[in-house]
């Protein structure tokens, strides 16, 4: 069965090209505000890192480089599978598209699973900012640099949880959207003239991956 251009154009657009341009513009504007949001957090991180270098060095030593590196590889692989899914949608390879989205979802869930154990470790060591926060240098999981105060270290972990927590929230939202896209793909919704949802979500997923790398 052939798919005409008109069949995929919403009633409030004049033609397919206008619909595509509007969708792309909307996604780029969304990503622009996301960049400003995360950019503000990164600026705060840099400012306080310059102001409290010992606290930042000590705090970073308490993070698990093995789990962090593993999660980085997982997300980079998910970007590859997501890009492959977009290509499959463009070429009308629906079966491959479904599997690409499923693998991307699986990798995203692996990332969140590993992040759970990272957070669990911080909770067990009383490194969650708040009334119960306490950094015991004698039981530190990494070297202690200089003489950082509890308040300075708490600020480091506050930014750590806010930045990684917001990233994890974006991953959870992305996983939910992926499930929706998988259902649509199983129903045969996508074809070479109707794959914009996949492509736009691909932009979102790649952005989330780039944020993690930074």
pTM of the model: 0.86
Given this model, what pLDDT does residue 2 score?
40
Give CA angle at 120 (117, 122), nearest 5°: 115
User: Structure tokens of 163?
Assistant: 């930045």
**123 CB-side CA count, 13 A:** 6
H, E, C per residue of 18-45: HHHHHHHHHHHHHHHHHHHHHHHHHHHH
Percent of the chain's residues with pLDDT above 70: 92
107-128 pLDDT, tens digit each: 999 999 999 999 999 998 889 9
CA distances from 18 to 12, 23, 74 (A): 10, 9, 36
pLDDT of residue 31 exceeding 50, the answer is: yes
186-205 pLDDT, tens digit each: 999 888 888 889 999 999 99
Of 80, 67, 71, residue with least CA distance to 206: 80
**Measured on CA atoms in the order 151, 157, 163, 165, is the torsion positive or negative?**
negative
């Amino acid at each position: 069965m052939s798919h005409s251009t008109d069949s995929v154009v919403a009633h409030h657009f004049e033609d397919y090209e206008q619909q595509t341009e509007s969708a792309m513009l909307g996604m780029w504007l969304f990503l622009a505000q996301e960049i400003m949001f995360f950019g503000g957090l990164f600026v705060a991180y840099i400012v306080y890192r310059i102001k409290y270098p010992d606290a930042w060095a000590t705090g970073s030593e308490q993070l698990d480089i093995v789990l962090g590196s593993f999660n980085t590889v997982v997300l980079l692989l998910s970007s590859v599978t997501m890009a492959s899914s977009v290509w499959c949608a463009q070429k009308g390879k629906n079966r491959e598209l479904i599997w690409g989205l499923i693998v991307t979802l699986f990798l995203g869930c692996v990332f969140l699973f590993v992040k759970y154990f990272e957070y669990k470790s911080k909770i067990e060591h009383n490194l969650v900012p708040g009334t119960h926060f306490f950094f015991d240098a004698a039981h530190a999981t990494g070297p202690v640099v200089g003489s950082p105060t509890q308040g300075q270290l708490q600020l480091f972990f506050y930014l750590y949880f806010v930045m990684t927590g917001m990233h994890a929230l974006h991953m959870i939202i992305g996983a939910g959207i992926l499930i929706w896209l998988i259902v649509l793909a199983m129903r045969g919704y996508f074809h070479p003239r109707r794959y914009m949802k996949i492509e736009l979500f691909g932009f979102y997923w790649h952005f989330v991956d780039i944020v993690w790398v930074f």
